[in-house]
Amino acid sequence: MVRGFMRFSGLSRRLLNICVDSLCKFRNLEKAESLIIDGIRLGVLPDVVTYNTLINGYCRFVGIGKAYDVVRRMREAGIRPDVATYNSLIAGAARKLMLNRVLELFDEMRLSHISPDLWSYNTLMYCYFKLGKPKEAYRILSEDIQHSDLPFGADTVNILLDGLCKNGYTDNAIMLFRQLQHDGFVPQLITYNILINGLCKSRRVGSARRMMRELERLGYTPNVITYTTIMKSYFKTRRIDQGLCLFQEMKDRGYTYDGYAYCTVVSALIKLGRKEEAYDYMLQLVRSRRKQDLVSYNTLLNLYCKDGDFEAVHDLLNEMEEKGLETDEYTHTIIVDGLAKADNIERAEDHLVYMKATGLGSNLVACNCLVDGLCKAGHVDRAMSLLESMEMKDDYTYTTIVHNLCKAGQFKCAAKLLLSCYKNGKKTPRSARRAVYCGLRRLGFRSRVKKIQAKITVAGALNSCFQRS
């Protein structure tokens, strides 16, 4: 009888854990808490898996503070946290780039005689890389992981190589990759894609292409990510014909069915003014696919806006509505930008009002497009009024108006805006500051230039201190 009850209790606890996991995945954390309480009342006591599931949910969707409260309750219930508990907490802190908190959790693990596993170290490496500290991240592999005798695999190597590439150490990443290969490491396709992406971002497309040939020699088949990464790099470096050849190779292998590669080609051709070719590729996309997605429509909208064909834009929006496709912030930003560049400022302003009324995102990019359009049309005062009404502003917003105020000879106003920019924690490029300083000096305000430079230095230092804290 006792043995049968134990089997029933074990089954009930597994069912409880499954239900808690499902509720957490759907962000119903309050219901998960209530379910645990109901289980205790019925005699089904939660175990470490139950609490770990709840902790992971809080870390992902609420915050590490709330998750750590669950750890305290675990201890009160006599359940000892394990490495999975701390891994969830470390991941939650790393997502918010709370490095000090991550390191505190590592210390707490060691004081509790819980050895960090490979997942713990991988998360710490990820945090270091995100914060731009590649040397500290590499030290995790060369010291902590190797001294712990943990057999690291492809995940650790991929995090390390990706972090090095994204922090500008592509050569170091390749050297490490070759060394690991020499030591017996068998790379995956994703490993090659990481290195190819790093080489392309360094504008070393030839090296990326050779890396692609190497992975083919090893028996791997390049996927859509491999092709698209190199193809985009060809387009950025204006090697259009090579990019189109690679695109044709993608088509031959059947990788263009989702339309993303088509949109990449069309966008590149639009930027280069080769509209007829862009139209041809859009027609190929329409003919080759049964159903178009939002990315395809947005690309086509961009093409029509660049061409100034706003009747076609209106027809395309109606077509999207008929097909049940919901437009997004990017869709309407394309329209605002197109109207502003076509000097149709009133319609652009009306469309921005529509975006705000329908709650389509933050509208920051759309506002910046309108600010740029107003400035180019000579309406700097209206651009200033729009700036004051914007809830969110970024570096681009300030830079655009500062440059155009200088062009209009309003250097005093530009200087005030420049100071406001830095006081609000934003920055402008050196060219914008230089334009303001040169203008003020020409007007005989040399002492004011020095005062502005000093105030900007102080504001920048205060902003840096605030970000570090």
pLDDT tens digits, 92-114: 999 999 999 999 999 999 999 99
Contact 312, 335 (CB under 8 A): no
Helices (H), 80-153: 83-95, 99-111, 118-130, 134-139, 146-147
Give the least confident one: 66-70, 115-119, 191-195, 430-434.
Answer: 430-434
Residue 342 confidence (pLDDT) above 80: yes
State the average pLDDT over residues 82-98.
95
Residue 34 confidence (pLDDT) above 80: yes
Q: How far, in Å, CA of 328 to CA of 183, rounded?
A: 49
Q: What are the tokens at 423?
A: 């006081």
Residue 270 confidence (pLDDT):
78
Give the least confident one: 83-92, 186-195, 214-223, 262-271.
Answer: 262-271
Residue 258 confidence (pLDDT) above 80: no
Total-model pTM: 0.67
Give the least confident one: 198-207, 302-311, 330-339.
Answer: 302-311
Choice between 182 and 297, residue whose per-residue pLDDT is larger: 182
- Write the CB contacts of 396 (distance below 8 Å, at least 6 apart in sequence): 368
List the one residue out of 70, 69, 65 whose CA is nearest residue 51: 70
Q: What is the DSSP string of 353-392?
A: HHHHHTT-S--HHHHHHHHHHHHHTT-HHHHHHHHHH-S-
Helix, strand counts (H, E) of the chain: 27, 0
Contact 332, 351 (CB under 8 A): yes
CA Rg, the chain, in Å? 28
List the one residue out of 436, 376, 373, 384 whose CA is nearest residue 410: 436
Contact 327, 309 (CB under 8 A): no
CB atoms inside a 10 Å sphere around CB 196: 28
**289: confidence class by pLDDT, cuts 50, 70, 90:** low
Domains of the chain plus CATH, in order, are 1-116 (1.25.40.10)
DSSP state of 391: S
Determine whether 26 is exposed, middle or buried from the number of CB atoms within 10 Å of its CB (0-12, 13-18, 19+): exposed
Residue 325 confidence (pLDDT) above 50: yes
Distance of alpha carbon 83 from the chain centroid: 29
Residue 144 confidence (pLDDT) above 50: yes
DSSP helix/strand/coil, 290: coil
Residue 292 confidence (pLDDT) above 50: yes
Residue 445 confidence (pLDDT) above 60: yes
DSSP state of 291: S
Please report the sign of the dihedral spanned by the C-alpha atoms of residue 189, residue 194, residue 200, residue 204: negative
| Mean pLDDT rounded to a whole number for the chain | 87
Choice between 255 and 338, residue whose per-residue pLDDT is larger: 338
State the average pLDDT over residues 234-239.
88
**356: confidence class by pLDDT, cuts 50, 70, 90:** confident
**8: confidence class by pLDDT, cuts 50, 70, 90:** very low
DSSP state of 1: -
Residue 197 confidence (pLDDT):
96
* Length of the chain measured in residues: 469
Residue 5 confidence (pLDDT) above 70: no
CB atoms inside a 10 Å sphere around CB 404: 21
Q: How far, in Å, CA of 25 to CA of 124, rounded?
A: 24
**256: confidence class by pLDDT, cuts 50, 70, 90:** low
